[in-house]
A and B are shown apart, each in its own frame.
Chain A
Amino acid sequence: MFGEQQRFMLFLIAPAALLMLLFQVLPIVIGANASFRDWALYNPKKTWIGFSHYYAVITDPAFLYVVLPNTFLFMVLSVAGALVAGLSLALLLNRPFRGQKLVQTVLLVPLMVAPVVAAIMIRWIFNDQFGIVNAVLEAIGLEGQPWLVQRWSAFGIILLTDIWLWTPWFTLLLLAGLQSLPKEPFEAAAIDGTTTWRVFRFLTLPMLRPVIVVCVVIRAIDAFRTFDIVWTLTGGGPGRSTELFSLYAYVHAFLNLDLGRGSAAAIIGGLIILVIGVVLYRLVDRIAKA
């Protein structure tokens, strides 16, 4: 029924497809099913209740006015922050100098640090009683802050941790991109005496755009589902003011023990990011072709 080539293609992807079917597709189907049922972990009646979980989630003020804005704000700011920092570092490192290897190795450090470990470190550094940040502030005569129990400072610290973790990733990929650019346009610009800013604006940036766009897309999709650093740094607190979408679904499923509602939240979030993902993919495609 299949030709020899088709059989070969099928065998190449069969193990991957089977694993994805069992551990991704099937759970998503089961989760979708659970989201339509009254499925509390302490009393799983499993009766069909239609869209009421979805209705409960999208009318929940905590979801609408805290979780969703937090998630989008976090996604935009963390990607933008890491992109700007990563691009500046890549431009700075894109020249031979003594000790380049050392700097590159130091830059790799955050890439090896588990997000949970990073969160523990930052939590310790910003500890309100014994943290070094408050110690330094008090030493220079300023007042120490209870960083992690105020909404916006806690949110800022989560953001900072994420940018610290991901800037090196941008730097490495953008540096690789910079080094693979053709040299002739830059030489021509140098002969014409073009200013540095104009070289960056009209040569480097446009030529680097495909790499930048791919990095941004991958990171934006990952930033949307951030869980571990928020969980370890604030647990969503103070109150629920720093909850992101993944945390919201987790809290409903495993702390409030309402699997139906948690699944509904997970599916709503999944649909949102899928739309974003498709739009971004179109964008990448257009830029790659242009």
Chain B
Amino acid sequence: MPMVSRPDFLPDLPPWSRKTLFALALAAICFAFAFPVLWLILTSLRPESGVYYVHRGTEFTFGNFAEVLRDDRIVEAFINSALIATLATVFSLLVTVSSGYMLSRFTGPASRIWFGTIYVFRCVPYISWVLPLYFVTQSWGIYDTYTGILLPHVAVHICFFSWLMKGFFDGIDPSMEYAAMIDGCTRWGAFVRVAVPSAIPAISALAVLCWLFTWNEFLFALILTGNRVPMITVVMAQFVTEMGLRWNLMAATAVMALVPAFLIALFGQKYVIRGLRI
């Protein structure tokens, strides 16, 4: 699209200088967005002696990563976070795909009430229900267990993802489902065999988002877990206060926490971008 895509902000300059300016602007933007992460990676590669002057000195080491991995609690936290993120993704999708389908395919009071409920609960700040959830999970005996952190994570995604899923299904023509039902498919058959397969790109996008959100989530883990199920975000935040001066180790832990998220996001990037475009 040649015409649309050329908002010329510098119309009076010759083309070569406009190109240079554009390239410089892009470089500056990339730098601004990548610099903190690059700096973190650089810090994580510095030995203890060099960490306070990251910008000087040339010694580099992988020793920080080795030292962090010797800490059982951190390793355990990584495993827990990965496990919970994966399970939460699976369960969230099972629950929200059907709920979004209902919102998209049916009109009438039931659908409107469900949409209203979802919107209202999307607005409620996490702290308003996670704070008392501390007591609820304790009285049910699931505080500081996998179930106790997994189910709230599934619950929190219901509102936003049902909403997104509704949008995705709105973009899919329902006539195929009607055709399947005329051919003798049940409603469930039409949903599971026709609608869900055609929504696979959108579902993949949601899976990526859901995994990232859960892996990155902090407040739930802070309130709903203790020593038995350490989660990586909480362990890192404790680091800041407990070992406030050992920045090389902290940077190494943070870099390791970035790696799975980067991999997931890089593999899922095309699904997310395509999914968001609907």
A→B interface (CB under 8 Å): 4-6, 8-9, 11-13, 15-17, 19-20, 22-24, 26-28, 30-31, 34, 89, 91-92, 94-97, 99, 102-118, 120-125, 127, 129-130, 132, 135, 164, 167-168, 172-173, 176, 178-181, 183, 186-187, 190, 196, 199-200, 204, 221, 224-225, 227-228, 231-232, 245-246, 249-250, 253-254, 259, 262-263, 266-267, 269-270, 273-274, 276-277, 281
Q: In whole angstroms, how far apart are the Cα atoms of A179 and B4 in the complex?
A: 9
Residue contact A26 to B3, C-beta cutoff 8 Å: no
Q: Show 6 A/B contacts (Cβ-Cβ < 8 Å), sorted by A.
A: A8-B187, A30-B132, A116-B218, A199-B7, A259-B135, A266-B131
CB-CB contacts below 8 Å: B1-51 with A: 1, 3-9, 11, 22, 25-26, 29-30, 32-34, 36-37, 39-40, 43, 51
Q: In whole angstroms, how far apart are the Cα atoms of A238 and B152 in the complex?
A: 32
Segment with Cβ contacts to A, from B60-68, B70-78, B247-255? B247-255
B58 interface contact, C-beta 8 A: no
Known: A31-B129, A270-B128. A19 touches B95 (CB 8 A): yes
Q: In whole angstroms, how far apart are the Cα atoms of A167 and B126 in the complex?
A: 22
B178 interface contact, C-beta 8 A: no
Residue contact A12 to B125, C-beta cutoff 8 Å: no
Shortest C-beta distance, B81 to chain A (Å), equals 10
Shortest C-beta distance, A164 to chain B (Å), equals 7
User: A123 contacts which of B132, B223, B240, B261 (Cβ < 8 Å)?
Assistant: B240
B133 interface contact, C-beta 8 A: yes
B269: chain A residues at CB < 8 Å are: 105, 108
Residue contact A121 to B39, C-beta cutoff 8 Å: yes
Residue contact A124 to B237, C-beta cutoff 8 Å: no
User: A19 contacts which of B119, B155, B240 (Cβ < 8 Å)?
Assistant: B155
Q: A30-B136, A263-B132, A266-B127 are in contact. List 19 more A-B contacts (CB 8 A).
A: A5-B106, A12-B99, A16-B96, A24-B121, A28-B124, A89-B29, A105-B269, A110-B33, A112-B262, A117-B216, A120-B240, A122-B36, A180-B277, A200-B7, A232-B240, A245-B127, A254-B223, A269-B127, A269-B128
Shortest C-beta distance, B14 to chain A (Å), equals 17
Residue contact A34 to B132, C-beta cutoff 8 Å: yes
B158 interface contact, C-beta 8 A: yes
Residue contact A225 to B258, C-beta cutoff 8 Å: no
B79 interface contact, C-beta 8 A: no
Q: In whole angstroms, how far apart are the Cα atoms of A91 and B7 in the complex?
A: 7
B→A interface (CB under 8 Å): 1, 3-9, 11, 22, 25-26, 29-30, 32-34, 36-37, 39-40, 43, 51-55, 94-96, 98-99, 101-102, 106, 110-111, 114, 117, 119-133, 135-136, 151-152, 154-155, 158-159, 162, 187-188, 191, 212, 215-216, 218-219, 222-223, 233, 236-237, 239-240, 247, 250-251, 254, 257-258, 261-262, 264-266, 269, 273, 276-277
**Nearest 4 CB-CB pairings of A with B:** A31-B132, A277-B123, A114-B216, A225-B125
Residue contact B276 to A16, C-beta cutoff 8 Å: no
Known: A15-B94, A111-B265, A269-B128. A172 touches B273 (CB 8 A): yes
Known: A24-B121, A266-B127. A130 touches B52 (CB 8 A): yes
Residue contact B102 to A9, C-beta cutoff 8 Å: yes
- Residue of chain B at shortest CB distance from A246: B127
Q: In whole angstroms, how far apart are the Cα atoms of A263 and B123 in the complex?
A: 17
Residue contact A112 to B247, C-beta cutoff 8 Å: no
Residue contact A31 to B262, C-beta cutoff 8 Å: no
Q: In whole angstroms, how far apart are the Cα atoms of A132 and B162 in the complex?
A: 43
Residue contact B251 to A124, C-beta cutoff 8 Å: yes
Q: In whole angstroms, how far apart are the Cα atoms of A109 and B35 in the complex?
A: 10
Residue contact B37 to A113, C-beta cutoff 8 Å: yes
Residue contact B102 to A27, C-beta cutoff 8 Å: no
A168: chain B residues at CB < 8 Å are: 33
Residue contact A267 to B128, C-beta cutoff 8 Å: yes
Q: In whole angstroms, how far apart are the Cα atoms of A31 and B140 in the complex?
A: 16
User: A112 contacts which of B98, B120, B151, B212 (Cβ < 8 Å)?
Assistant: B212
Shortest C-beta distance, A70 to chain B (Å), equals 15
Shortest C-beta distance, A25 to chain B (Å), equals 8
- Residue of chain A at shortest CB distance from B264: A112
Q: In whole angstroms, how far apart are the Cα atoms of A116 and B40 in the complex?
A: 13
Residue contact A23 to B125, C-beta cutoff 8 Å: no
Residue contact B219 to A112, C-beta cutoff 8 Å: no
Residue contact B254 to A120, C-beta cutoff 8 Å: yes
Residue contact A262 to B131, C-beta cutoff 8 Å: yes
Residue contact B36 to A121, C-beta cutoff 8 Å: yes
Shortest C-beta distance, A107 to chain B (Å), equals 6
Shortest C-beta distance, A42 to chain B (Å), equals 15
Residue contact A124 to B55, C-beta cutoff 8 Å: no
Q: In whole angstroms, how far apart are the Cα atoms of A196 and B129 in the complex?
A: 48
Q: In whole angstroms, how far apart are the Cα atoms of A259 and B223 in the complex?
A: 13
Q: In whole angstroms, how far apart are the Cα atoms of A128 and B124 in the complex?
A: 37
Residue contact B154 to A19, C-beta cutoff 8 Å: yes
Residue among B11, B37, B106 with the highest chain A CB neighbour number at 10 A: B37
